[in-house]
Structure 1
Amino acid sequence: MKTSTTEVNNPRESHNKKIGISISTGVLVLIWHLGAVALNKPFILPTPLETLKAAGILLKDLDFFKALVGTLGRVLIVTFISTCLGILMGMLSGKFRFIDYLLAPLMLLIKTIPTIVLIVYVVLWMSGYWAPVFVTVLITFPVIYGNVLEGYRNIDKKLLEMAHVFRLSRFKTLSQITIPSIKPYIQSGVLTIASLSLKVVIASEVLSQTKDSMGRSFQIARINIETQTVLALALVTVGLALVLEYVSRWLLGRMK
């Protein structure tokens, strides 16, 4: 959160950031174009222009918008569940060490097991709609949980002692000390899972063949060897991730 504040208060830094990102993006697109021209095999690597044309076709397709809305809906569901569950369990683990010890093996398993293994296993016994949601919650919940737990442990003990001395109620202690202290950690976690959720949801949709999903669109394009459509879908995914991050930052900024 400190970084965003610095950028807002320092116009020159913000300007330099925009220039740096523009130059880097331009160089990457140029390398992509030169590579595609040198290879001269559009079915392996189409040019940026061919990819943009494919993206334009996608944006005119009603079925694609249904897929986009379906995927976005699952991402929002995941973000809501992971945030609420992560805050609740993180605070409980911070207050009661025993709960932290109980959850430690589960957190270790989720962090160490490859994501693809979780996806394949869950798809075997869960419906196409809920499999991506369940898998992504498993992947993103530990992020919020870990942030909240760290924030809870870093609460200024003097503030808690002051609350005890002045005999503040549990509700006032929670609302005036605990929540404000862990809010930056929650915000950081939400920003992290905003784009992570999108990537894991789409990967899960590909394997579960979820109806009305971007993952299914990726799979169909891959089967038909429509490489330009695959890259166009990737560009749309990047754009959607940027929008999600921007909206998340805006909403979290309004919460200050």
Structure 2
Amino acid sequence: AVEAAATDAAAAAATPDRDRQMSYAAALLIRCEALIYTGEYEESESLAARAVELYEQLRGRDSVECAGALHLRASCLQGQGRVEEALPLYREALAVRQEALGATHRHTTATITHLAMQLSYEGQHAEAEGLYRQVLEAHQRNLGASHNLTAQAVSNLAGCLHELGKLVEAEVLYRRALDVYSDTVGPRHRQVAFTLVGLAAVVREGGDLEAAEELYRRALDVCRTALGPKHPHAQMTLGALRDLLKERGKGEEADALEL
């Protein structure tokens, strides 16, 4: 259905009609999102770039529509590991969205989150921390403390604080996110597994290896059912638990451990 919409819109784009051109640009972004979901970043990036061109011509570079296309193009570049190209596009999209939609709008916070993730990936954790806090504040105000998106913002901030060595606050936040997820999506959900792994890493770095082992075991148990044995996160969790067991002198148990 998405491909058909893009094809129909492409035909419409041959006319000078502004509304049809706008529909074509929107269809390009729908197709782009579908390709991002399947990991086809190069093709999706070319579609997003074309949408940026169209919206810039039709609505202006500082329009909300163009900002949305810029955000998607940055996501495509991010997926290809082209961080230096993605960052300025995220910043540009963010500036427009903050001005037009406000700092707490869901589209604005989505761009802030993506920008923060890229900055963290580049090791710029201090700037990322400020952005993650901004998103958390917005979600708490708009959605409440017990919403899943708020829990995700809490978890993102916790991961950033871990990188900055702020272990005490990171642990508190991971436990807070874990409580929300356990109540909203249940204790066997993949988000619970992700959060348990983050918490285990913080606890391990803090020196409590016994508690960290228990957390990794819980995470691995959830991974088995929520993700399956072949999922990269399940494999990563298995590896982390094996490393910890060996560190604790449980080499034989570590070698025998399987998903």
The reply to whether TM is greater than 0.5 is: no
Name the structure with the higher helix share: 1
| TM-score normalised per structure 1 | 0.25
Between 1 and 2, higher relative CO (CA 8 Å, sep ≥ 6) is seen in 1
